[in-house]
Amino acid sequence: MAIVQPQPAAEDGRRRLRLDSPVDRHHVGDLEISTKAEVDAAVERARKAQQDWAARPVAERARILRNAVDVLVRRRDEIVDQVRAETGKPRVEALAIEIVPACDFVNFWCKRATKDLRDEKRRLHGYLAPMKKLRIRYQPLGVVGVITPWNAPFVLSLNPVVQALLAGNSVVLKPSEVTPRSGELAVKVLHEAGVPEDVVQVVHGDGETGAALVDGDVDKISFTGSVTTGRSIASACAKKLTPYTLELGGKDAMIVCADADLERAAAGAAYLSMFNTGQVCLSVERIYVVESVAEEFIRLLKEKVAALRYGSEDGDVGPLFFDRQVDVVSRHLEDARKKGAQVLVGGSPADGEGLFFQPTVVVDAAHEMDLMTEETFGPVATVMRVRDEEEAVRMANDCQYGLGGSVFTQDKAKAERIAGRLNTGSVVHNDAAVIYGVPEAPFGGRKNSGVGQVNGLQSLRGFTHPQPILLSRFSSKKESIWYPYNADTIRNLDGLIRYGFGNKFLRKLLS
């Protein structure tokens, strides 16, 4: 369903989109666009339902949502088939990218919820400690709008929705119009698990529908998608002071050090630049190889990519999911050729009716090329030789994006040193992309790669307002600084400053 074609408005005035398969372009259905009135109505229903949902204990919400794991296991074939119908990705990738992490995320967050969302006692320091007690209550925000992309349409819908629900919010999900049914399935799974229908709902459509959700009466927006759309969402949210998280694009660099295991590095480069047909925000899009090992690395990479099967649903590399990506990848490669890059393997759309693109290896890349500066989102491994690891770090940081990065070396200490110098949201040693599947790890980008983080041990709390409640330890008619001011008030404050903070020993006790 990755070929999306607007259709003439129906007699009822509704907009519709025609959806065609990315594998062979056959017509697979039409998508009816939700109107602004329907989006607003969904948000209104969600707000009414949210109060009863939030009133349930966290443990009860977690028990209900944990049922989704059983539903996922039971309906895994149906989900895989739907994802493949919309994307054409190989069955292995549908299982590995969509189902396995979906099960793990639900299981993990449900276990964490009661601990992470319970009221927290926080110890006070200094002179207030004898008089006051502090509690932090993690209040649900209300209604959360979740807008998700087409590259991993099921798991990227399910993960933020589950987190928001556990935190006591209701959710309105707007999946990509490219893969609408996969996102819708995430909502159906949650309904089957026992989440009330109005607590989690789905609306369908393109950018207009997303804008209607952002402009609606929501209390937070969670968006995963392009930088351009992310900027528009940030601007719209700023007008209403609506909080948001934006997980945007990437141009992740892979650094291959002189001491790297070249066999692993080449195998990793082939896989990590082309799994999911390269359509992963954490996909390896730039490979910096130290000159002393570049020839051998390139030889191995070329050999591995040339052996990949593509062109059918049973291959290693599936089609591009969205017809517009064929144009983007082709344009980037043409620009690279004109500016001196060499294409060693592939480099063109595959023959046939579908959106398959040849797995491609490009060498002699430079930062003057779009292939090294703009997000390509295709099955392309792009290699640039560098003098040493110092130059590799400098070139890796010379980028408008800062989502992830990877370092291939047999020296763990070196990997940590290099990682600490990369201006990225995350770094992986001798691997890449897997970081999103580690729920304990905060996931988010720097620079144009986004704002805020998903996952991590504070992730559930990101869908709440941490409300501090300051309690008095003792009952008294007034505080020492309340009206009326007098000489004792000044003497007491001055004494606190002189003897409390002016004495180094007492200062430590007050810290």
pLDDT in tens, 226-258: 999 999 999 999 999 999 999 999 999 999 999
| Mean pLDDT for the chain overall | 95
CB 332 within 8 A of CB 298: no
Q: Are residues 305 and 176 part of one domain? A: no
Whether 179 and 318 map to the same domain: the answer is no
Instruction: Please give the Cα distance from 31 to 395 (Å, whole number).
Output: 43
Q: Are 329 and 376 part of one and the same domain?
A: yes
DSSP H or E stretch at residue 18: strand 16-20
Cis before 22? omega within 30: no
Residue 35 in any domain: the answer is no
337 and 231 housed in the same domain: no
Query: Is 281 designated active site?
Result: yes
Catalytic-labelled residue, pool 93, 98, 177, 247: 247
Mean per-residue pLDDT, 355-381: 98
Is 468 inside any structural domain? no
| Residue 448 within any structural domain of the chain | no
Question: Does the pLDDT at position 345 exceed 70?
Answer: yes
Identify the pLDDT of residue 494. 95
- Is the pLDDT confidence value at 11 over 90? no
389 occurs within a structural domain: yes
Rounded Cα distance, 377 and 198, in Å: 35
Is residue 378 a contact partner of residue 278, using CB atoms and an 8 Å limit?
Answer: yes
* pLDDT tens per residue across span 100-134: 999 999 999 999 999 999 999 999 998 899 999 99
**Residue 275's pLDDT band (cuts 50, 70, 90):** very high
Shared domain check, 13 and 61? no
Beta bridge partners of 465: 139
Cβ–Cβ < 8 Å for 473, 131: yes
Is 279 inside a domain boundary?
A: yes
**Closest to 173 measured CA to CA, from 42, 58, 2:** 42
Task: Answer with the residue of higher pLDDT: 27 or 294.
Answer: 294
**132-140 and 120-122 beta bridge pairing:** antiparallel
Establish whether 247 is a catalytic residue. Answer: yes
Q: What are phi and psi of 382, to 5 degrees?
A: -110, 120
**What integer is the mean pLDDT of 195-218?**
98
Question: Could you tell me which residue, 100 or 12, shows the higher pLDDT?
Answer: 100
Q: How many domains are contained in the chain?
A: 4
Q: 3-class DSSP state for residue 149?
A: coil
pLDDT reported for residue 421:
98
* pLDDT score, position 188: 98
| 333 touches 380 (CB < 8 A) | yes
Residue range 38-66, pLDDT digits in tens? 999 999 999 999 999 999 999 999 999 99
Domain hosting 16: range is: 1-30
- Asked whether residue 19 is assigned to any structural domain, the reply reads yes
Predicted confidence (pLDDT) at residue 224 exceeds the cutoff of 90: yes
**Token pair for 32:** 């009816």
Same domain? 204 vs 334? no
CATH number of the structural domain spanning residue 295? 3.40.309.10
Q: Are 50 and 199 in contact (CB under 8 A)?
A: yes
What pLDDT, on the 0 to 100 scale, is given for residue 476? 82
Residue 163 lies in a domain: yes
Catalytic one of 281, 285, 375, 399: 281
| Strands 401-402 and 446-447, bridge-based pairing | antiparallel
CA–CA dist 276, 93 (Å, integer): 7
Clarify whether residues 243 and 256 are in a common domain: no
Residues 234 and 316 in one domain: no
* Nearest by Cα to 365 from 249, 254, 228, 248: 254
Average pLDDT, stretch 383-404? 98
**How many Å apart are CA 166 and CA 64, to the nearest integer?**
10
SS (H, E, C) 330-345: HHHHHHHHHCCCEEEE
Regarding whether 270 and 244 lie in a shared domain, the answer is no
Instruction: Tokens for 252, please give them.
Output: 């992740």
Could you tell me if residue 471 is inside a domain? no
Measured CA distances, 215 to 117, 160, 206, 208, 236 (Å): 28, 20, 14, 10, 7
Place of tokens 């607003």: 40
Helices vs. strands in the chain: H and E counts, helices first: 17, 21
pLDDT at 4 over 80: no
Lowest mean pLDDT among 122-126, 289-293, 328-332: 122-126
pTM for this prediction: 0.96
Residues 6 or more apart from 41 whose CB is under 8 A from it?
A: none
pLDDT band at 68 (very low <50, low <70, confident <90, very high): very high
Task: Please report the pLDDT score of residue 8 as a whole number.
Answer: 57
**Could you tell me which residues come within 8 angstroms of residue 54 by beta carbon, excluding any fewer than 6 positions away?**
140, 168, 169
Nearest CA to 176 among 203, 211, 206, 144? 206
* Predicted local distance difference test score (pLDDT) of residue 5: 60
Looking at residue 508, its pLDDT comes to 86
Please check whether residues 108 and 239 belong to one and the same domain. Answer: yes
- Same domain for 293 and 226: no
How much is the pLDDT for 509?
83
Whether residues 386 and 433 share a domain: the answer is yes
**Above 90 in pLDDT, residue 397?**
yes
- Residue 120's DSSP bridge partners are 136
* Separation of alpha carbons 138 and 463, rounded Å: 9
Question: Is the pLDDT assigned to residue 431 strictly greater than 80?
Answer: yes
Whether 1 shows a pLDDT value over 70: the answer reads no
